[in-house]
């Protein structure tokens, strides 16, 4: 299954929720993302079929290893890009919204170059 932006967003949301709560259910994702229960249910089952998450008999959702890997990659992009935008004077809300849009389309090559530049900049500031 080739993930689209929406699938990545669901995985990222599940990752964030799982760090806040012991157990994540579809309703938690509905509340966090503001989508309808049928939309969440459909997406969750597609992600389950793709091997990105598992749902137990009680409806608790957990990321598989590949699901966690994708979610962590997207979340790292989000946080790093948000920090970069804020460092150049963008307010937190706008920086986060822009990072959210960019995190799904930026190439790995460009993202790695940004991280390398940040690391280099931090060293020269010391």
> How remote is the C-alpha of 41 from its chain's centroid?
18
Same domain flag for 56 and 90: no
% of the chain at pLDDT higher than 90: 84
Same domain flag for 65 and 85: no
Average pLDDT rounded to a whole number, residues 106-126: 87
Same domain flag for 57 and 28: yes
With cut-offs at 50, 70 and 90, classify the pLDDT of residue 1: very low
The rounded distance, in Å, linking the Cα atoms of 111 and 15 is 21
Q: Is the pLDDT of residue 24 over 70?
A: yes
Can you list the pairs that 99-108 forms with residues at least 24 positions away whose Cβ atoms lie under 8 Å?
A: 102/77, 103/8, 103/74, 103/77, 103/78, 104/5, 104/8, 104/9, 104/74, 105/5, 106/77, 106/81
The pLDDT, as a whole number, for residue 2 is 58
- The tally of domains found in the chain comes to 2
R_g over Cα of the chain: 16
Domain that holds residue 89: 74-125
The rounded distance, in Å, linking the Cα atoms of 100 and 81 is 9
Residue 82, number of CB atoms within 10 A of its CB = 22
- Contact in structure between 51 and 64 (CB atoms under 8 Å): yes
Per residue in 31-77, pLDDT tens? 999 999 999 999 999 999 999 999 999 999 999 999 999 999 999 99
What's the CATH number where 107 sits? 1.10.60
pTM of the model: 0.86
Domain boundary among 69, 90, 108: 69
């Amino acid at each position: 299954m080739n993930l689209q932006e929406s699938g990545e967003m669901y995985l990222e949301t599940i990752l964030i929720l799982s760090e806040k709560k012991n157990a994540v259910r579809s309703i938690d994702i509905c509340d966090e993302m503001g989508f309808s229960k049928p939309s969440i249910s459909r997406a969750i089952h597609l992600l389950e079929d793709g091997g990105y998450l598992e749902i137990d008999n009680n409806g608790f959702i957990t990321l598989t290893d590949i699901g966690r890997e994708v979610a962590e990659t997207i979340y790292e992009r989000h946080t790093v890009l948000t920090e970069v935008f804020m460092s150049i004077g963008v307010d937190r809300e706008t920086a986060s919204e822009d990072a959210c849009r960019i995190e799904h389309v930026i190439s790995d090559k460009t993202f790695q170059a940004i991280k390398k530049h940040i690391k280099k900049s931090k060293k020269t500031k010391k």
